[in-house]
Each structure stands twice: as C-alpha cells, then as structure tokens.
C-alpha cells in the first residue's frame, strides 16, 4: 500500500474513544486507508452495496441489534460504516449506542457527501465525534522526479512534512495537470486514465448527484456542470453561468453549493482585509481534481488538453495543493486578492496571524516583474507578511526581490 499523509495522524486519533467521521470525495482512497488502519475483525457495513443500504433504510434498528449481538470483550470492537451518508438515521443509532457504552464499540463512519446529512438535519454527533477529511494526493504523497533528485531542502512554509516510505508513482508536472491526483488514476496505466476519468464523471458526477440531490431539470444541471468545470478557477459569475445553463442565478448558486457539499469543489473567498477600497468580493470556485475537471468539461484528459492554456491549469493545480494542505493542517484559510483596477495576487494564505501571498507563473525564467503585485501586497501588509512566493517552473529557487522568492513547483 502507498503511504498517505493522513495515515499516521488518523491511526493515532482513531484510537481515541470517540466516534470518528471521515469524509472526502469518491475514490480519494478513504475505504482503502481505513482498511489498512482498522483491525481485520472490524464489523463492516458497506452501504455502497444496494442490498445492505436497502435493509438499513427500511430498518435502521437492525444496526443497533447487530452491534449489541457482538460479544463483549476488553478492547473496543470497531464498527465501520462506509458511505454512511446514504442512511442518515444511522447517526442517531450510533449516538444511542455510544451514549450507552463509550468503551464497548469504536465507531468509524465514512462518507462522500455532506449534502444529504445537511438537508436531512442528520445528527453529526456534536461533542462525541472527531471529523477527518481525505483528499486526492498531495505533493508529499506523490513526489516529482525533479524533487526526488533535488539537493536543496523544501523551503516553502507549512509543507506537509512527511517523507513517504512508499510514495505513489512519481510524475512530472504535465501528467499532474492532465490527469489529476485521484489514487486510482495515478496508479493506472496511462492508456486507461482518460477512460477512468470519463467513467467517474458519468457514474459519480451525474448518476450519484442525481441520486443524492433533488434536481428538477436534469438537462439544465448537466449544462451547468459542464460550464462550471470549464470555468473552474475563475471568479464566480452566477448570472453568466445561469444564461449558459438556461436557468436562474439563484438555481446556479444552489448548484454550486451542491458541488461543495459533495466535495466536488470548493470556494476560495476574496481577501478583504486591505487598505484598498476597490476590491472584488465574489469567490472563486475550483474543481477538486484537474482530471475530473477535464472529463466533466467534456474534454479528453491528456497532456494535449492543457497545451492551449497551460497557465490556467497550473494555477488551479497550485490552488488545489495549497487548499488540501491547509485542510490537513487543520487551520488557516486560502484567499485570492484582486482589485477592480487590475492588481491581483493569485492566492493568499492566512494562517497563525500571518499572510503569505503567492503568484503562479508558467514561466521557466521568472523576473522581478513577476513579483510586482506581491511587492504591492507586502507594502499594504508589512507587519503581517514575511515573504511572498512566485511558484513557477524554474529549476532552482531564486530571490526576485526583497522578501519575494521564486520557487520551483516541485518545492511547493
């Protein structure tokens, strides 16, 4: 099994006497990770199996009866529920059992959507649960060939500090932009990757969303989904998307929230703590994975698909890497900064009362001109900002200006 950055932390935490909830997108590797961490004798309810799901939907009390039938023993018996969001009543059943005896069972619930739980008012066990998230691969889990050969240490702050003993196959930048970071895609033969991603877009983004959500006009939603994928990385314009999809801005806003709830994408809010007055305030939206984004947009994932506009794909990749890393660290916020007059910084990390502005450039030869917006941001926030970074394709770190460093993408 390949190493996941979360595995060491999760293995330690799930020993604690709480209910553990692990959420994340489909095929991010949640079930595989938990299968490696949980005891072989764990009681498993796999609700991706229609038969098991139907039984518990019809009679949630069966879950309680089965758990109570387990022989008592000194160590807690692990009860693992996969795709738990498909039977929201199980959360009440888990609370009932947990409150009766906090030592007899150790519950681990796994899910790929928070939408049904949120809309059904499901009990997320406040005060009784730890919430964990698993995302597609980060750079620490799948180092680049250049990084593995580099002599200089990583110099970017808040690097996910794990050197995996068994990393995923090393990829250069272009395959990452073309195929994304789902574990099953990364480990597949190159000839199969596009088919896997198209199947994901059809089977999950379309069929699963149809099952999980109430969508009145499926044709409208599919047009929205394709346009949202193509516009991934941009600033949201609900009116423009509504015109393309043939629906109202309010419906489009609800659709975007649906994608967020199902871990298909996330919002990057605008940075607003600035002395400048003409700031944009609308968030950006990013698809959770570039390979899935291409397939959902109706494109064939391959290195050719990024050749027309590699800078946009590269910027999204950096945004995804930063966001996933901040999610694992458990604090901090990712923003973007833009004024109506054209000054912009692609990403701003806000963490521990410090700001880190980041520009993304496709270039192999960064210059001081690439640092100008970062320098403007630093002048506006001199006491909160230590350094700014230009993430690009240069072979080695470079000092572009005082407090601005150009970093190779593989040193991120």
Residues 258-300: pLDDT tens digits? 899 889 999 999 998 877 778 888 999 999 999 999 999 999 9
Residue 110 in 3-state DSSP? strand
**pLDDT at res. 156:** 60
Residue 152 pLDDT level (bands cut at 50, 70, 90): very low
What average pLDDT does this structure show over 109-121? Answer: 72
Q: Are residues 189 and 338 in the same domain?
A: yes
Same domain, 245 and 184: yes
Interval 2-10 mean pLDDT: 88
Same domain assignment for residues 234 and 124: no
Whole-number average pLDDT of the chain: 89
Give the CATH number, domain containing residue 18: 3.40.50.300
One domain for residues 100 and 232:
no
What Cα–Cα distance (Å) separates residue 115 from each residue in 84, 200, 204, 214, 258? 12, 19, 14, 11, 7
What pLDDT does residue 159 have? 59
Domain boundary, last residue among 133, 168, 188: 133
Q: Do residues 108 and 171 both lie within one domain?
A: no
DSSP string, 139-189: TTTS--HHHHH--SPP-STT------SSPPPP--HHHHHHH---HHHHTS-
- Per the structure, the complete domain to which residue 335 belongs is given by 145-411
Does residue 232 sit in the same domain as residue 290? yes
Instruction: Please report which confidence band the pLDDT of residue 75 belongs to, taking 50, 70 and 90 as the band edges.
Output: confident
For 212-248, how does the pLDDT look when each residue is reduced to its tens digit (9 = 90+)? 666 778 888 889 999 999 999 999 999 999 999 999 9
Q: What is the predicted pLDDT for the residue at 144?
A: 87
To the nearest whole percent, how much of the chain has pLDDT over 90? 68
Lowest mean pLDDT among 91-95, 267-271, 274-278, 341-345: 274-278
* Between residues 268 and 2, the one the model is more confident about: 268
The better pLDDT of the pair 255, 217 is held by 255
Stretch 358-371: mean pLDDT, rounded?
A: 96
Give the confidence band of 372 by pLDDT, cuts at 50, 70, 90. very high
C-alpha angle 329-334-337 in degrees, rounded to nearest 5: 160
- Cα(279)–Cα(148) distance, integer angstroms: 40
Same domain, yes or no, for 216 and 128?
A: no
Whether 367 is in a domain gets the answer yes
- Domain boundary among the residues 133, 156, 179 is at 133
**Residue 175 covered by a domain:** yes
Q: Are residues 188 and 334 in the same domain?
A: yes
Pair (109, 256) in one structural domain: no
Q: 286: which residues sit within 8 A by CB, 6+ positions away? A: 232, 233, 265, 266, 268, 316, 319, 320, 323
Q: Averaged over 109-131, what is the pLDDT?
A: 73
Residues 227, 340 within the same domain: yes
Tell me how far CA of residue 8 lies from CA of 44, 296, 354, in angstroms: 22, 33, 27
Whether 140 maps to a domain, the answer reads no
Q: Which residue has the higher pLDDT, 122 or 181?
A: 181
Which SS3 state, helix, strand or coil, does residue 23 take?
strand
Predicted confidence (pLDDT) at residue 153 exceeds the cutoff of 50: no
Domain match, 353 and 288 both: yes
Q: What is the pLDDT of residues 186-212, one digit of tens each?
A: 999 999 999 999 999 988 777 777 766
Confidence tier at 123 by pLDDT (50, 70, 90): low
Note whether 350 and 277 are same-domain residues: yes
Give the per-residue pLDDT at 283.
Answer: 95
Q: For residue 377, tell me if it sits in a domain.
A: yes
- Is residue 383, in this structure, part of any structural domain at all? yes
Q: Indicate the number of domains in the chain.
A: 2
Domain final position from 133, 166, 193? 133
Asked whether residue 46 carries a pLDDT value surpassing 80, the answer given is yes
Please determine, for residue 173, whether its predicted confidence score (pLDDT) is greater than 80. Answer: yes
154-189 in b/e form (b: 16+ CB < 10 A) is bebebebebeeeebbebbebebbbbbbbbbebbebe
Could you tell me what percent of the chain has a pLDDT over 70? 92
- Kindly state whether residue 138 falls inside one of the protein's structural domains: no
């Amino acid at each position: 099994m390949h190493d996941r950055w979360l595995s060491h932390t999760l293995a330690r935490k799930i020993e604690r006497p709480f209910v553990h909830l692990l959420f994340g997108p489909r095929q991010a590797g949640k079930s595989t990770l938990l299968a490696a961490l949980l005891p072989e004798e764990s009681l498993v309810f796999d609700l991706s199996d229609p038969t098991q799901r139907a039984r518990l939907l019809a009679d949630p009390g069966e879950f309680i009866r089965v758990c109570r039938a387990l022989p008592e023993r000194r160590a807690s018996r692990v009860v693992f529920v996969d795709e738990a969001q498909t039977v929201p009543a199980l959360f009440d059943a888990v609370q009932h059992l947990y409150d009766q005896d906090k030592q007899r069972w150790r519950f681990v619930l796994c899910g790929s959507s928070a939408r049904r739980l949120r809309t059904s008012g499901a009990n997320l066990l406040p005060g009784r649960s730890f919430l964990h998230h698993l995302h597609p691969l980060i750079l620490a889990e799948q180092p680049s060939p250049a990084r593995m050969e580099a002599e200089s240490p990583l110099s970017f702050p808040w690097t996910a500090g794990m050197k995996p003993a068994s990393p995923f196959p090393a990829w250069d930048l272009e395959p990452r932009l073309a195929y994304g970071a789902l574990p099953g895609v990364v480990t597949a033969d190159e000839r199969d990757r596009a088919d896997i991603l198209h199947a994901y877009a059809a089977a999950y983004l379309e069929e699963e969303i149809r099952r999980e959500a109430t969508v009145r006009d499926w044709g409208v939603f599919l047009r929205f989904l394709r346009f949202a994928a193509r516009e991934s990385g941009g600033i949201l314009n609900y009116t423009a998307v509504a015109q393309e999809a043939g629906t109202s801005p309010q419906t489009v806003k609800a659709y975007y929230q649906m994608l967020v709830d199902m871990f298909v994408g996330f919002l990057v809010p605008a940075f607003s703590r600035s002395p400048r007055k003409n700031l944009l305030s609308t968030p950006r939206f990013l698809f959770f994975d570039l390979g899935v984004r291409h397939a959902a947009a109706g494109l064939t994932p391959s290195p050719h698909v990024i050749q027309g506009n590699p800078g946009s794909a590269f910027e999204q990749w950096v945004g995804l890497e930063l966001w996933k890393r901040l999610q694992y660290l458990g604090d901090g916020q990712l923003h973007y900064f833009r004024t109506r007059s054209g000054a912009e910084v692609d990403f701003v990390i806000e963490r521990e009362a410090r700001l880190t502005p980041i520009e993304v450039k496709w270039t192999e030869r960064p210059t001081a001109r690439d640092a100008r917006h970062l320098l403007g941001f630093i002048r506006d926030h001199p006491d909160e900002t230590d350094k700014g970074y230009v993430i690009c394709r240069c072979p080695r770190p470079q000092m572009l200006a005082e407090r601005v460093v150009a970093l190779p993408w593989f040193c991120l």
